[in-house]
Structure 1
């Protein structure tokens, strides 16, 4: 086997492991993903699984990186062509809420769940999810400042407060969808976002 082919196959195996870890973590929590379970599900040895990451923590971080990339593609990339400001934000939050209500077995928000799981546990995983959510808040704040510049929001408005409230809507939607299985949660969340941003629709 050539070194190039070996590297490609190794990368493919690593991707399979991370994808299965993501699937398990959505239902059992990131800490609940064990090397033994992954090995069994993938038909691999435990050494074969851990050999791609070195430690369970490294596997958790790789899974989290995958979740961040999924979020970027599902939410941020989908609204890139929408006019900046309140319209883009309304659409972005709508995409986020829709992704929480996804019928493909990944209900809820992975990052929100991991944040709750690790918020009181200092370490690299907590740091990584904090960085991801802080990046999202910075994105929201940037769009809000653009909205102020465009005259869509008042100049004397509190951007930090609005970021807090918008993210609060998303957190409420996550709990209503994940815990209460409320079919009205996505629509309620969209209406709340529209009201906070002062836009007519969250197209």
Structure 2
């Protein structure tokens, strides 16, 4: 019986943690990670402040947990759809489509969580900065690996500068996100999609593999 009661408390604790983090990622995407507080989250979710504090312990731990939760959402909405497509330019394009949908459909209310959070912490030091830097490195690495797979499969020219192409793709996506959030419209996503496709066509060995917008 004691084990059953313990399991029940752990399960309730996990559910509460996910509830808090679900709200935290949305707040942080709009107001920044510094906009988070244990007291605010407890009040908004009608939870005890002591209970929320017991789950996270400090504001920094809450911020770090929020970054990890955002990474999991990002993986589900961007990386996983790309991985469902065989390696090649099709996977590169699917990755870009997934990213555009992730930002345009406001999976996070403030647009791309990491675009906003990185701008907030890029000139700082500390654990939260390091967590965001690691997340960005992971994303850049994924983009580079996805492009390299297409090059290795012969669907991009052998002399393709993978790192440069990855940089350009990410830049187009992030500018579309920034414009959309600031101007409250979605016009930039179509421009980014056309720019990325044009760039991919210059490197593709068979441009027919890419859609026409």
Fold equivalence (TM over 0.5)? yes
Q: What are the within-5 Å matches in structure 2 for residues 118-129 of structure 1? A: 118-129=121-132
* Structure 1 portions without partners, runs of 5+: none
CA separation of 1:20/1:185 partners in 2, compared to 1, >3 Å: closer, same or farther?
A: same
Contact 2:29–2:117 (Cα < 8 Å) also in 1? no
Larger % of helix: which?
Answer: 2
C-alpha distance after superposition, 1:109-147 (max 9, x if no partner): 001111111101111111111111111111111121122
1:181 Cα deviation from its structure 2 partner: 2.0
Moved more, 126-135 or 74-83: 74-83
Q: CA RMSD in A?
A: 1.8
1:146 counterpart (145, 149, 158): 149
Q: What are the within-5 Å matches in structure 2 for residues 43-62 of structure 1? A: 43-62=46-65
- Find out whether 1:72 has 2:82 as its counterpart: no
Aligned length: 203
* Structure 2 portions without partners, runs of 5+: 202-206
Contact 1:190–1:202 (Cα < 8 Å) also in 2? no
- Find out whether 1:166 has 2:193 as its counterpart: no
Contact 2:88–2:150 (Cα < 8 Å) also in 1? yes
1:20 corresponds in structure 2 to 23
- Find out whether 1:100 has 2:110 as its counterpart: no
Equivalent residue of 1:193, what SS? helix
Contact 2:121–2:128 (Cα < 8 Å) also in 1? yes
1:201 corresponds in structure 2 to 211
1:25 Cα deviation from its structure 2 partner: 1.2
Under a length normalisation based on structure 1, what TM-score does the superposition of the two structures give?
A: 0.93
CA distance in 1, matches of 2:92, 2:128: 28
- Find out whether 1:155 has 2:158 as its counterpart: yes
CA distance in 1, matches of 2:124, 2:132: 12
Under a length normalisation based on structure 2, what TM-score does the superposition of the two structures give?
A: 0.89
